[in-house]
Amino acid sequence: MSKVAEQVEQLINPLFESDAKLSEYELVDVEYKKEGENWFLRVYIDKDDGINLDDCQKVSSALDVLLDEHDVVPNSYFLEVSSPGIERPLKKPSDFEKFIGKKAKIKGYVAIYDKQKEVIGVIADTTDTDVTIHIENNIEVTIKYDQIASAHLWVDF
């Protein structure tokens, strides 16, 4: 995560916790990327019953004020607030815990199972340090969070 994205995340979490109008939202991820000649600050949010356009607008308006106030983004940028989608990323231990029983795709920095760096399975259990997923043939694999390069929910189409 870029330094700007980290600073923005540190501003948003307290806002969601302290503002009654925003307390229903969860910050899923923040990205700060240059695409072509433009910079984009993307903020992904979620709530229990899903995100709609009105939610994105409400959070975007609050973030505009907050970001102008703190001036942590060094370039001009486009702010995009959206849902993380049905294959939302899993970043924190609490994300994995929230989705126990759901299917996920996990990519590791090192081989996770059978010399493969990538597995798909059902999240079976979590701790503060690792996640256990149930993969093929009743096999469970435990993966330390610091060995996970990326993870997201997986939907079979």
Whole-angstrom Cα distance, residue 46 to residue 143? 25
78 and 98 share one domain: no
pLDDT digits (tens, 9 = 90+) for 65-106: 999 999 899 889 999 999 999 999 999 999 999 999 999 999
Number of separate domains in the chain: 2
Any idea what the Cα angle at residue 144 is, between residues 93 and 105, rounded to 5°? Answer: 70
pLDDT digits (tens, 9 = 90+) for 116-155: 999 999 999 999 999 999 998 889 999 999 999 999 999 9
Residue 131 lies in a domain: yes
pLDDT of residue 137: 83
10 Å Cβ neighbour count for 144? 13
59 and 104 share one domain: no
66 and 122 share one domain: no
Q: What's the pTM value of the predicted model, to 2 decimals?
A: 0.84
13 and 42 share one domain: yes
39 and 72 share one domain: yes
Residue 88 lies in a domain: no
Burial of 137 (0-12, 13-18, 19+ CB in 10 A): exposed
Which domain CATH number covers 57? Answer: 3.30.300.70
10 Å Cβ neighbour count for 15? 17
Whole-angstrom Cα distance, residue 35 to residue 79? 13
pLDDT digits (tens, 9 = 90+) for 25-57: 999 999 999 999 999 999 999 998 999 999 999
Residue 15 lies in a domain: yes
User: Which H or E element spans position 101?
Assistant: none
Tell me which residue range forms the domain holding 73.
3-82
Residue 87 lies in a domain: no
